[in-house]
Structure 1
Amino acid sequence: MPFYMVYWGGRGVYETTARPAPQVVEDCLGIVQLLSDGTVTRSDDYSVVPPVCNVPPGLPVQWKDVVYDTGHGLRLRMYTPTSHVRTDSGEKKKLPVLVYFHGGGFCIASFELLNFHAGALRLVGELPAVVLSADYRLAPEHRLPAAHEDAETVLSWLRGQAASSSSAADADPWLAAWADFGRVFVCGDSCGGNIAHHLTVSCGSGKIALDPARLAGCVMLWPYFGGEEKMPSEAPPPADNSSSAAMNIVLFDQMWRLALPAGSTRDHPAANPFGPESPPLDGVPFPPVLIVDPERDVLRDRIADYAARLKAMGKHVELVKFEGQDHGFFVFDPMSEASGELVRVVRLFVYGV
């Protein structure tokens, strides 16, 4: 146990007093620990996430990592096919741009995690599209709105790329060659879906200017929203139900405690788009929205409620339910049959708007 020393003036007497060691206040999956003195410890052991073992070798996809925010040292991974599809006249076809934000409750993960990498490979090859899979600052070291601000920086960076693409002086050569900046889609799973929502609102309200790029749509995979008032599907799992232990409301509530500003509730605008302090969305223009709602997701009622509210406001919303699937199924097994159907749904949406 650590000690500190007290010095008593001119008498030259020292006294040692025990200082209690910091205690673990929150332990999130053994990956992130918040201590009582405010410090945070992180592990790079992601064995809690089932590893991807069935990625086909030799996929016709190339990728590289790019810094989009030098101030915070934040990167994204850029993916494109390795060969162009050409028009009948021989011109190279440009591809839609999918700006993807990974899940992890705002607290864990990275685009470098093999599961997210494998999912991006499948999206690029089967849509096809240019995929920009972006990292952002994580909580609790960087509480919200840090992740939302970083996502806005990604779009500002992309706007700069679109503005430079004609001159090619400052443009990334891959984007200049492949990207159709008139078809930009924001996309994400779980908290990445939350980020996609907030980016859509920021673009529609004029907070973010994308021109000469254009936001063509929003894809939310089981978006991670919250609220103080629980919905029926958000009931805590039975204590003896180990099958629900991985992705249950207890974990989600813990991640909100770690991610939201200190002292905030789950009705904070970052968590609850319809909370008492959230801005009204009725007058905010939305592009077409695709929402995926897995049948066994504990957030399924909240996701369906979100979609119904947007529809009631006149937004163009497509809600697709995936029977028998849980929160994060595309991440846990991006090469599964269900994930293949998910990619097909996304492809139809992206190429149909």
Structure 2
Amino acid sequence: MASTNPKEIVAELPTYIRVFSDGTVERPRETPFVPPSIHDPLTGVSSKDIIISQTPPVSARIYLPKLPPTTLQDHPQKFPILVYFHGGGFFFESAFSQLYHRYFNIFVSQTNVIVVSVEYRLAPEHPLPACYHDCWDALKWVASHSTQNNAAANEDPWLIFHGNFQRIFIGGDSAGGNIVHKVAMRAGAEPSPCDVKILGAIFSHPYFCSSNPIGSEAVTGREQSLPYLVWDFVYPSAPGGIDNPMVNPLAPGAPSLEGLGCSKIVVCVASEDKLRDRGVWYFEGVKRSGWQGELELFEEQGEDHVYHIFHPDSEKAMKLIKFLRLFLHE
């Protein structure tokens, strides 16, 4: 007997995601999940997965640089900590994906930092602002390791023994860069978790938008452009729509960027990226805001959106990684 309720597509962003009438979701562009590894054979970097919270479900993959054989338990080597939020439009990709696992093995081997790559809840199953709360909770969990007395029940020894809590950074690419903005603004408005302050923030090809076009953005048909469609898909109830301060941080009435809660910022853009002008727009907005800190813009010519994630061992990706190494250590 034929089903009276055939499975139909009820929402989609073509080639990226399909939502079906039975509640199932397909993400055709998502790369496969891969397990963590102790002593990656190519880089020597170790990784493992940890649970940050059961309710809501928040987890992470932690990466530890290769330790020299002379490291002593009494005087363990300390590394800066980068709490990272992956890209994927808030609705696909993962801290556990092959794409990000390969990137961070290379990145950590070149930068000598601990990376906590956060697995936050995705839309549409969990519409925004769920991911913002998850990433703030992940930052709080990392900060809880700053003293033995603060550490949570699910404490991690890599952070306790090897984390330098004077050098905490947040970073993210694309939608993850948008999350960096939200977390940094919250850090500037609320008491620091466990008195741990964010030293710096890395915005890699950040996703922002607004109803007013800028730079090379199309004036007509904007409501059918991918940045518009993504925002409506992941946060359909957003007050103000595409001019909500979470996606348009320069909207009238948005909190001043002067309140960003960190001391150093770098905004990374690529000349061929459709989001390039938004990254520069954000950089200029921070510059005009009166924010007191070190602000840098890194632009790569001839490259497209998140080229460094897709091709982490390429010459231009290595150039960016070396730049970020200086940002994280100086």
Whether TM-score is above 0.5 comes out as yes
1:177 CA drift (Å): 1.6
Q: Which residue of 2 aligns with 1:241?
A: none
CA gap of 1:61–1:46, structure 2 versus 1, over 3 A, is: same
Q: Which residue of 2 aligns with 1:300?
A: 276
Matched, 1:98 2:82: yes
Matches within 5 A, 1:66-77: 66-77=50-61
Q: Which residue of 2 aligns with 1:34?
A: 19
Q: Is the Cα contact below 8 Å between 1:115 and 1:333 reproduced in 2?
A: no
Which deviates more from structure 2 when the two are superposed, residues 266-275 or residues 38-47? Answer: 38-47
1:341 CA drift (Å): 0.7
Matched, 1:345 2:319: no
Q: Is the Cα contact below 8 Å between 2:81 and 2:169 reproduced in 1?
A: yes
Q: Is the Cα contact below 8 Å between 1:86 and 1:92 reproduced in 2?
A: no
Distance 1:278 1:167 in 2: 35
Deviations 1:204-252 (A, max 9, x none): 112x5223422110011011111111223223999xxxxxxxxxx8333
Deviations 1:135-189 (A, max 9, x none): 1111111111111010111011112222337889863111112100111000000
Matches within 5 A, 1:39-54: 39-43=23-27, 46=30
Q: Which residue of 2 aligns with 1:157?
A: 141
Match of 1:321 among 277, 284, 299: 299
Distance 2:96 2:219 in 1: 31
1:46 CA drift (Å): 2.9
1:24 CA drift (Å): 2.7
Secondary structure at the aligned position of 2:117 is classed as strand
1:311 CA drift (Å): 1.0
Which deviates more from structure 2 when the two are superposed, residues 314-323 or residues 182-191? Answer: 314-323
Which deviates more from structure 2 when the two are superposed, residues 126-135 or residues 250-259? Answer: 250-259
CA gap of 1:322–1:134, structure 2 versus 1, over 3 A, is: same
CA gap of 1:63–1:29, structure 2 versus 1, over 3 A, is: farther
Q: Which residue of 2 aligns with 1:16?
A: none
TM-score by length of 2: 0.86
Distance 1:299 1:277 in 2: 23
Matches within 5 A, 1:226-305: 226-235=209-218, 250-262=225-237, 264=239, 265-305=241-281
Q: What RMSD over aligned residues (CA atoms) do the two structures have, in Å? A: 3.0
1:2 CA drift (Å): 5.0
1:304 CA drift (Å): 0.7
Q: Is the Cα contact below 8 Å between 1:200 and 1:218 reproduced in 2?
A: yes
TM-score by length of 1: 0.80
1:350 CA drift (Å): 1.1
Distance 1:47 1:97 in 2: 26
Deviations 1:298-322 (A, max 9, x none): 1111211110111122333101111
Secondary structure at the aligned position of 1:252 is classed as helix
Matched, 1:64 2:35: no
Q: Which runs of 5+ in 2 are unaligned?
A: 33-39
Secondary structure at the aligned position of 1:330 is classed as helix
Distance 1:105 1:346 in 2: 23
Q: Which runs of 5+ in 1 are unaligned?
A: 4-18, 49-55, 239-248
Match of 2:123 among 120, 133, 139: 139
1:38 CA drift (Å): 9.0
Percentage of pairs with the same residue = 30
Whichever residue aligns with residue 236 of structure 2, its letter is P
Secondary structure at the aligned position of 1:72 is classed as coil
Distance 2:177 2:243 in 1: 17
1:105 CA drift (Å): 0.6
Distance 2:169 2:22 in 1: 37
Q: Is the Cα contact below 8 Å between 1:165 and 1:171 reproduced in 2?
A: no
